Amino acid sequence: MSSRSAFDPSGSDPSSFDPGPLIRKHRTADATLTVTAQGAPLAGQEVVVAQRRHKFLFGCIGGDFIPLANGDAPAPDQPAAAGSQEVADLWLDVFNFATLPFYWGWFEPERGRPDTERTLAAARWFADRGCVVKGHPLVWHTETAGWLMDLPNAEIAKAQVDRIRREVTEFAGVIDMWDVINEVVIMPIFDKYDNGITRICREMGRIPMVRMVFDAAREANPQATLLLNDFDMSAAYECLIEGLLEAGVEIGVLGLQSHMHQGYWGEEKTLATIDRFARYGLPIHFTETTIVSGHIMPEEIVDLNDYQIPEWPTTPEGEARQADEVVRHYKTLLSHPSVEAMTYWGLSDGGWLGAPGGFVRVDGTPKPAYEALRSLVKDEWWLPPTTMVTDDDGRVRFTGFLGEYEVSAGGRTAVFTLDEPGGATVEAAI
Amino acid sequence: MSSRSAFDPSGSDPSSFDPGPLIRKHRTADATLTVTAQGAPLAGQEVVVAQRRHKFLFGCIGGDFIPLANGDAPAPDQPAAAGSQEVADLWLDVFNFATLPFYWGWFEPERGRPDTERTLAAARWFADRGCVVKGHPLVWHTETAGWLMDLPNAEIAKAQVDRIRREVTEFAGVIDMWDVINEVVIMPIFDKYDNGITRICREMGRIPMVRMVFDAAREANPQATLLLNDFDMSAAYECLIEGLLEAGVEIGVLGLQSHMHQGYWGEEKTLATIDRFARYGLPIHFTETTIVSGHIMPEEIVDLNDYQIPEWPTTPEGEARQADEVVRHYKTLLSHPSVEAMTYWGLSDGGWLGAPGGFVRVDGTPKPAYEALRSLVKDEWWLPPTTMVTDDDGRVRFTGFLGEYEVSAGGRTAVFTLDEPGGATVEAAI
């Protein structure tokens, strides 16, 4: 598949891939900004232009901060530092996109007593800090509500639809983006344990199931961005997507998981994967990415959940490798125009599988990967406050990453955005 | 998935699976046959009842006998014995269902000069000997016509549709069963080499491609049985099928390949696989089965075509194992009511990959697997000419495998069929 990627089709050294020109092409605008004051161009004046926000969604899961956002004591099952204000500051300095947990078995362990208020407080906490917030997931066979097992299938389906309507409605305006359904490829044939969602997916079939839950979410919030999400990057996911699109199910975004506990994918596999899913013309989100800073999980493990070890330490060599791979991975994703978001699966170590997959150690100190990512997001790909002088027509020219900017002069500030790559003519009235 | 198969859900010893009762349940009828002569029951008479044909399609590829059927010299690229009358006799003694090759690149290497006559003569040769004949395949990215590469995509699609119409029309009445399209799961992302079919499948998408070619085949022969066929037994094939069914594409039969060069699947995997595809309510054909009588291909080989060795001998131990596995495999398939056909992929050794996958050695002598299969098909599952005495109402009772029978008395013979399992009341007028 390399012939369809940015690589030389002869399949030579992946290190020859240079994402730089593609990132500039797809992620930056050459802006001509006209600054006006009281309707007239502000000519020959010093102005300061500064980026405020990225358009690209640099995401991370945010569940660690639910206690902090609620003024509660840290959760007993997480490292003390992980939910601290200090780590929250690290989080907010790099990320602009939070994924919050809606696993049904956690969210509503007892039927009729959903954990709405605490989650809503956390969602508002992120939104107040300028973040886009996504809920994950509304439907999944894993971590689903145990009490579904007591219901006949028709009632499970009704409970699922009701649950979607409730959450999507109650969080609307704060959470307008949802991983609606997770891992549909395996859902009806999941055989590790019985659960209500596999039961109904097997009975209904995948496409009617997806249609049902997407319809419920869209009806509850017509403005919401609705994702299909899967870990299965094989032709199975392609076939599922093609079937859904043929059946007229309106998918907003394709979510691709990329937990790399068994090793970094590399540029070639990553681009080939994106290319295969980009051909459906839908935006792509990398929804769940992990790159470990310790030893790599053995490749013979098929279900990552089967790898349970007492301790999985982060190591200096692992941290150096992780930093390198993180930079390569983010650059690869930004080089492809279909990718609109990337969510890293946990800022702190000690999360899923106990893997050293975070950018921050259990003691709260940042790893090299954190610094490397911050330097991309807030330095290499960022316009710091920059003094420019307007020409006779009040114009300044600069190249910047897509996102929100401000321009200041004489103690006044105006905001503008760079929305599309390429040449951009924008105006800001101070 | 064992919990959905005939196994004890506790997943115990596969050898505990006893297919016998299921085979009797799904494959035999308890017949009450009334024999009449000139409108009156033939009471208290000796009659001879004999099976003539199985309803179950015991199939094998038949391309080896195209030269024989045409009165030509054997093909230079096949073992001399493989296409001989002696091996043909072995074939016809066990099988009632022939698959003939329609690989486009072989069938019409030069555009406009299809190999219709020789193939039609071979199809008639099998049909005249009581066999159902299937064509394989009408659409496939492998072995497709090289000259497609010179055409723009719209013309490739038109040539493909025209080709389907031509073959399905010209062979109708002799071949009324087709593997319409082969290996669609991988078709649009096949990346070993460029070819016309991958090009159009990638452009159209899998579902429109399948719809186009099934529509063409059905239009050319509305009575034909039309198969979708794949080697990919993963959830990908399920997703493809679900998408096609949701889109209203009328698939007649699901074809499952089972080339077992890397080892016999075993009863549990086989039944679990059937169960996953049986839930669509369509008949299932095992379209391509191979079980080798030599060493097993290493499991790390992903594409079987990548395993090319100078010699792959059949061995005495391998032949004993093959015979055992062949019996287990056929019994497993007949134990499941959804399976209507099983095609073995080559009677003689020396076929695909040079594997010792045949039931007959290159010198034309049958292996133990041949004798074992023959003893199932023509002995254990067969009613030989059997003398019975009719009761006062002209009736005899017997249990037989579904298929065609004859009853003879006083030098006269009548034919009847047992079509459905369970109790059957049939009448034969001699």
Q: Which pLDDT belongs to residue B38?
A: 92
Kindly identify which residue of chain A lies nearest to residue B235, measuring between CA atoms: A236
Q: At B409, which amino acid appears?
A: A
Q: Which pLDDT belongs to residue B77?
A: 81
Tokens standing for residue A416? 């503008």
| Chain CA centroid to CA B169, Å | 22
pTM for the model:
0.92
Exposed/middle/buried for A76, CB within 10 Å: 0-12, 13-18, 19+? Answer: exposed
- Range A4-51+383-429 has CATH code 2.60.40.10: yes
Least confident among A314-323, A420-429, B30-39, B70-79: B70-79
Q: What residue ranges in A175-252 does DSSP mark as E strands?
A: 177-182, 225-230
Q: Residue holding tokens 């691709």?
A: A256
Q: Residue holding tokens 């983010």?
A: A330
Strands A28-37 and A395-401: antiparallel
Q: Which pLDDT belongs to residue B75?
A: 84
Q: Which pLDDT belongs to residue B234?
A: 96
Question: What are the structural domain ranges in chain A?
Answer: 4-51+383-429, 96-238
Q: For A107-166, give the DSSP string.
A: H-SSTT---HHHHHHHHHHHHHTT-EEEEE-SB-STT--GGGGGS-HHHHHHHHHHHHHH
Q: How far is A120 from chain B (nearest CA, A)?
A: 36
- A243 vs B1, B189, B239: nearest CB: B239
Exposed/middle/buried for B97, CB within 10 Å: 0-12, 13-18, 19+? Answer: buried
Tally C-beta pairs within 8 A across A and B: 80
Superfamily of domain A96-238: Glycosidases (3.20.20.80)
Strands B28-37 and B395-401: antiparallel
- B1 vs A191, A232, A239: nearest CB: A191
Residue A372's pLDDT band, with cuts at 50, 70 and 90, is very high
Q: Cβ–Cβ of B243/A238 closer than 8 Å? A: no
Q: Which pLDDT belongs to residue A351?
A: 84
Q: Does an H or E element contain B171, and which?
A: none
Q: Which pLDDT belongs to residue A14?
A: 52
Q: Which pLDDT belongs to residue B337?
A: 98
Handedness of CA B263, B266, B269, B275 (dihedral sign): positive
Chain B partners within 8 Å of A188 (Cβ): 238
Q: Which pLDDT belongs to residue B351?
A: 84
Q: List chain B residues with pLDDT less than 70.
A: 1-15
Q: What is the DSSP letter of A191?
A: -
Q: Cβ–Cβ of B243/A244 closer than 8 Å? A: yes
- Percent of all residues in chain A with a pLDDT value above 90, rounded to a whole number: 90
Q: Which pLDDT belongs to residue A4?
A: 36
Asked whether residue A1 carries a pLDDT value surpassing 50, the answer given is no
| Chain CA centroid to CA B226, Å | 13
Exposed/middle/buried for A428, CB within 10 Å: 0-12, 13-18, 19+? Answer: buried
* Chain A interface, Cβ < 8 Å to B: 1-3, 185-186, 188-189, 191, 202, 205-208, 232, 234-240, 242-247, 276, 279
> What is the ipTM metric for this complex?
0.89
Q: Which pLDDT belongs to residue B60?
A: 98
Chain B partners within 8 Å of A234 (Cβ): 234, 236
Asked whether residue A354 carries a pLDDT value surpassing 70, the answer given is yes
| Chain CA centroid to CA A338, Å | 14
- A234 vs B188, B236, B244: nearest CB: B236
Tens of pLDDT along A54-89?
999 999 999 999 999 999 998 888 888 999 999 999
Tens of pLDDT along A75-134?
888 888 999 999 999 999 999 999 999 999 999 999 999 999 999 999 999 999 999 999
Q: How far is A93 from chain B (nearest CA, A)?
A: 40
